[in-house]
Amino acid sequence: MEITLADIGRRFNRDWVFRRVTYQFVAGRCYAILGPNGSGKSTLLQVIASSLTPSKGQIRYTIGDHSVKPEAIYRYISLVAPYMELIEEFTLAEQIRFHFKHKHYLHGVNEQRLMERLGLQHAKDKQIRFFSSGMKQRVKLALACYTDTPMVLLDEPTTNLDHQGVDWYLDLVDKTKGNRLVLVCSNQEKEYGFCEHLINITDYKA
């Protein structure tokens, strides 16, 4: 998976969130988009994920020698973000089964192994609405990281996680990143310390 941004910009009304972003993301590398709260990190991530269209510039997705249309890129992405919600009425087991009706597990992973990795076997028949915020975040992270996609996008991935949860997240990413493209949006070094490439969104302000 490669993503090429060519002079990308995004604005709301007349205000530019960022502009003139030219960058290439390639498989097997970990990237972090940095910046203070409200600086546009999540907006850039949504543009990369093709859930927002750029106001200017072009974005190109390629897998090997094949181009992927922006409207189809969702098939190749796993995403975790604060604005994403689990289905509260589902039990944990139902949530996992529903997710993997639409996606495929990483090689060697199944429902039982995912449940064990979460450490929530005791809660498999419990509705998500009764989970703590930290438990919900773990579920979101596990679903994304154990899904077989060439790209994993993580927006503020340790939201609601305690110190033990942060260690769990770092171990999860380390064990599942493989040769995938991993992109983290954050302003906390504990979330992106493993990333080799750093992009500061403030460098692309008008």
Domain-wise residue ranges, the chain: 2-204
pLDDT at 64: 87
pLDDT at 119: 92
Cα–Cα distances (Å) from 119 to 112, 137, 181, in that order, read: 10, 13, 26
Mean pLDDT of 49-66: 94
Residue 51 has pLDDT above 90, yes or no: yes
Amino acid in position 196: E
Q: Which two tokens stand for residue 69?
A: 């249309």
DSSP reduced 3-state for 195: coil
Minimal CA–CA distance to 176: which of 50, 41, 30, 33? 30
Contact at 8 Å (CB) between 120 and 138?
A: yes
Looking at the chain, how many residues does it have?
A: 206
Mean pLDDT of 23-52: 95
pLDDT at 205: 85
Mean pLDDT of 69-79: 94
CATH class of the domain at 2-204: alpha beta
Judged by phi (left if over 0) then psi (alpha if -120 to 50, else beta), residue 102 lies in alpha
Beta strands at 30-34 and 56-63: parallel, antiparallel or unpaired: unpaired
10 Å Cβ neighbour count for 70? 16
Residue 29 has pLDDT above 90, yes or no: yes
Can you list the positions of beta strands (E) in 29-188?
A: 30-34, 56-63, 66-68, 77-80, 151-155, 181-186
Q: Which two tokens stand for residue 98?
A: 């529903």
Dist CA 190 CA 69 (whole Å):
34
pTM of structure: 0.94
Dist CA 142 CA 119 (whole Å):
11
pLDDT band at 206 (very low <50, low <70, confident <90, very high): low
Dist CA 204 CA 206 (whole Å):
7
pLDDT at 42: 94
